[in-house]
Amino acid sequence: MAAKQPPPLMKKHSQTDLVSRLKTRKILGVGGEDDDGEVHRSKISQVLGNEIKFAVREPLGLRVWQFLSAMLFSSVAIMALALPDQLYDAVFDGAEVTSKTPIRLYGGALLSISLIMWNALYTAEKVIIRWTLLTEACYFGVQSLVVTATLAETGLMSLGTLLLLASRLLFVIVSIYYYYQVGRKPKKV
């Protein structure tokens, strides 16, 4: 009795069968978009992450601006702590200082902000860079309002104070520019 031979088995080539490939990728959870809009090519890249996603594309001149800001904050803080009379005289031409304590407190606050600025200079995290830029913009904006209100109260107007106000407004604009540039979503490559 001759047994009937079963038909030869056909091997399925899943690499060429698109439906099978799609089902496999769906089971693995790759190929579709995740919450951030990333399309992962493999399970390994999905688990390990994409290092390009974490790289900050820094706007041109950002680190120079951070360095200049940290230097400015540090130098004004040291001047306010060590030489409060001269700092007050430089801002409000010829006005008499009644108490050095508020100027020294101002110097202490500036020194604290400058330490944050120096630490932000060495970080690559977008959130920290943006917060320091926003802090800087808010500080310069508030300082401009305070100087303007003081000038309105005292009636003293000089070229030095006008230059101070103009420079502070310029610093606000530059800080806000970098704040938005760092916060932009990078273009897909």
pLDDT tens profile 145-189: 988 888 888 877 778 788 888 999 999 999 999 999 998 876 665
Query: Does residue 171 sit within a domain?
Result: yes
Positive/negative CA dihedral, 138, 172, 116, 106: negative
Q: How many residues does the chain have?
A: 189
The answer to whether residue 131 is domain-embedded is yes
Distances (CA, A) of 159 to 9, 91, 93, 156, 170: 94, 10, 9, 10, 16
pTM: 0.65
Range of the domain at 158: 60-183
Instruction: Of 21-30, 84-93, 118-127, 133-142, give the lowest mean pLDDT range.
Output: 21-30
In tens, the pLDDT along 53-86 reads 555 578 899 999 999 999 999 999 999 999 888 8
pLDDT tens digits, 22-61: 677 667 666 666 656 566 566 665 555 555 555 557 889 9
Q: Is residue 48 part of a domain?
A: no
Is residue 33 in a domain?
Answer: no
| Mean of pLDDT values over 106-132 | 92
Domains held by the chain: number: 1
Instruction: Classify residue 45: in a domain, yes or no.
Output: no
Q: Identify whether 156 is part of a domain.
A: yes
- The count of other CB atoms within 10 Å of the CB of residue 133 is 26
Mean per-residue pLDDT of the chain: 80
Residue 84 domain-assigned (yes or no)? yes
Range 124-129, long-range pairs (CB < 8 A, 24+ positions):
124/55, 124/56, 125/56, 126/56, 126/182, 126/183, 129/56, 129/62, 129/66, 129/182
Q: Which of 69, 101, 71 is nearest to 84 (CA)?
A: 101
CA 130 from chain centre, in angstroms, equals 2
**167 falls within a domain:** yes
